[in-house]
């Protein structure tokens, strides 16, 4: 019989974030595949947290975080998830506002151009009529 070695990731809570993962699309294919297989956001998140629970020390928290409390590591993990979630929610809202501002500006420019065209139309028509009369 062959032994199956259980691979785990340790100290991922302490991993430095030297790479900007905010707009990193390298894993999009993987996540889309998982999303299609799990058929929903909550099941997708369940797979992420299940992985962290089973294969890492994420829920144990950073070394020395217990401070005599059994659940201090778990509280640190929840705080980290909330921090990352808030960061991405803020980015989403900022991008949404920018997109709305751009759309509003485009709409204003289009309306301004329409008004200008409406104002110039009678002048052009009058100029054409003068050409016909002569």
Angle between helix axes 41-55 and 28-38 (nearest 10 degrees) is 110
Mean pLDDT of all residues in 13-20: 61
- The pLDDT assigned to 121 comes to 76
pLDDT band of 81, cuts 50, 70, 90: very high
Asked if residue 53 lies in contact with residue 12, where contact means CB atoms within 8 angstroms, the answer is: no
Distance CA 52, CA 47 (A): 9
| Whole-number average pLDDT of the chain | 83
Closest CA to 57 of 30, 85, 76, 83: 76
Residues paired with 9 in a beta bridge: 56
pTM tops 0.75? no
Cα dist. 83→79, 87, 121 in Å? 6, 6, 57
pLDDT band of 107, cuts 50, 70, 90: very high
Q: Is the pLDDT of residue 124 over 60?
A: yes
Residue in this structure with the two tokens 């920018």, named with its chain if needed: 98
Cα dist. 57→12, 111, 114 in Å? 7, 57, 61
- The pLDDT assigned to 89 comes to 97
| Higher pLDDT, residue 117 or 128 | 117
pLDDT band of 19, cuts 50, 70, 90: confident
Q: Which helix (H) or strand (E) holds 43?
A: helix 41-55
């Amino acid at each position: 019989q062959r032994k199956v070695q259980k691979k785990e990731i340790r100290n991922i809570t302490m991993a430095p974030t030297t790479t900007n993962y905010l707009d990193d699309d390298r894993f999009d294919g993987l996540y889309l595949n998982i999303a299609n297989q799990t058929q929903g956001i909550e099941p997708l998140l369940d797979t992420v947290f299940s992985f962290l629970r089973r294969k890492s020390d994420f829920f144990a928290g950073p070394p020395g975080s217990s401070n005599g409390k059994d659940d201090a590591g778990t509280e640190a993990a929840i705080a980290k998830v909330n921090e990352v979630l808030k960061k991405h929610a803020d980015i989403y809202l900022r991008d949404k506002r920018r997109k709305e501002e751009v759309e509003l500006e485009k709409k204003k420019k289009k309306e301004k151009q329409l008004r200008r065209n409406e104002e110039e139309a009678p002048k052009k028509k009058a100029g054409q009529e003068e050409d016909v009369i002569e």
